[in-house]
């Protein structure tokens, strides 16, 4: 039995080219027995559709903080309370900066602000963006507050550059979460 069996994982998908990997990540988490719900930012929908992630997760995908819920609930609060782990993959410089600054202006950031779950950010961005002192300061700040970071990996980037900034592969993310859940 996997350490992820029946774990409640909320996946936050943001607007980066690595968002396409979120489909594989959802599939792998489900195969390990996890219950998976997905929150997508509006920019994430430019890269992958909610239908794809709904089909793989078996759950409705949350995209809008102000959509009419099927049941009476305040969506960001109910998602924040439901999750045992929140994984943000890809974690762009934008989402890292927003969370580090306490900005809660969409469903994903309000959910993160309201949760007591463990939050794992999986960075994905251009090498120069990742190495930017402001991004590094935000990562350090969030790390001091208990947020976990996994990655990024080094290699070929979508922009044609080579360096650190690739989102970790879904298999490696699942292994990281399994180790985390097993402790």
As a whole number of angstroms, the distance between CA 104 and CA 112 comes to: 8
- Give the separation between CA 87 and CA 81, rounded to whole angstroms: 14
Q: Is-catalytic flag, 68?
A: no
Tokens 């609060």 belong to residue: 77
Q: Which of 6, 159, 162, 179 is catalytic?
A: 159
Residue 148: closest CA among 56, 84, 85, 72: 85
Q: How far apart are CA 132 and CA 107, in angstroms?
A: 26
> Sign (positive/negative) of CA torsion 161, 122, 16, 53?
positive
| Collapsed DSSP state (helix, strand, coil) of residue 118 | strand
Cα 173 from Cα 12, distance rounded (Å): 14
Q: Rounded to 5, what percent of the chain is helix, strand, coil? A: 45, 20, 35
Residues with a known catalytic role = 159
């Amino acid at each position: 039995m996997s350490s992820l069996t029946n774990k409640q994982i909320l996946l936050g998908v943001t607007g980066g080219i690595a968002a396409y990997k979120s489909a594989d990540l959802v599939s792998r988490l489900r195969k390990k027995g996890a219950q998976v719900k997905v929150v997508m930012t509006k920019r994430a929908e430019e890269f992958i559709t909610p239908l794809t992630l709904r089909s793989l997760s078996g759950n409705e995908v949350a995209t809008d903080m102000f959509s009419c819920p099927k049941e009476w609930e305040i969506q960001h609060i109910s998602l924040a309370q439901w999750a045992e782990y929140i994984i943000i993959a890809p974690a762009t410089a934008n989402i890292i900066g927003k969370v580090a600054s306490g900005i809660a202006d969409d469903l994903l950031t309000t959910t993160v602000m309201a949760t007591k779950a463990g939050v794992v950010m999986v960075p994905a961005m251009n090498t120069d963006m990742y190495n930017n002192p402001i991004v590094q300061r935000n990562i350090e700040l969030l790390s001091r507050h208990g947020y976990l970071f996994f990655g990024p990996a080094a290699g070929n980037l979508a922009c044609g550059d080579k360096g650190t900034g690739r989102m970790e592969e879904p298999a490696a993310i699942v292994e990281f979460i399994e180790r985390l859940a097993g402790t």
